[in-house]
């Protein structure tokens, strides 16, 4: 009978509740900032729910979207996509000027003169 060994894959990050530690820290920070912003909001109700609750909900959900977007594609991909949509990336790329290569002259018969 074969012995089954537990294998730890080292090139995959450790995840807790489906999130890495950095993502959990970002979500926790967003929740704390959202709670702080929610407490300083005026006592206004929208659909009979306080404005502070809506602020916390929107702030935390936007952080959740950013965290999940970072696990789908790397941040550089999102940055380049946003920059190209806003037309902030260069559209014409000019090569650097370099001196041309100097080739030896041939004499017409296929022999190169040095």
28-55 pLDDT, tens digit each: 999 999 889 888 888 888 888 888 888 8
Domain count, the chain: 1
From CA 6, how far away is CA 29, in angstroms rounded? 34
In a domain, residue 88? The reply is no
Mean pLDDT in residue range 9-15? 78
In a domain, residue 47? The reply is yes
In this prediction the pTM is 0.58
In a domain, residue 56? The reply is yes
In a domain, residue 114? The reply is no
Q: Which domain holds residue 66?
A: 16-82
Catalogue the E-assigned strands of the chain.
Answer: 45-46, 49-50, 105-106, 112-113
* Helix-, strand-, coil-residue percentages of the chain, each rounded to 5: 45, 10, 45
Question: Would you say 88 and 69 are in contact if contact means Cβ atoms under 8 Å apart?
Answer: no
């Amino acid at each position: 009978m074969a012995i089954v060994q537990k294998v730890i894959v080292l090139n995959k990050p450790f995840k807790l509740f489906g999130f890495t530690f950095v993502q959990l820290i970002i979500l926790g920070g967003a929740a704390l900032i959202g709670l702080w912003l929610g407490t300083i909001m005026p006592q206004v109700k929208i659909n009979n729910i306080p404005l502070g609750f809506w602020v916390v909900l929107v702030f935390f959900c936007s952080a959740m979207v950013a965290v999940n977007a970072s696990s789908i594609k790397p941040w550089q991909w999102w940055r380049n996509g946003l920059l190209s949509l806003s037309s902030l990336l260069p559209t014409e790329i000019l090569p650097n000027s370099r001196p041309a290569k100097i080739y030896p002259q041939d004499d017409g018969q296929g022999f190169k003169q040095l």
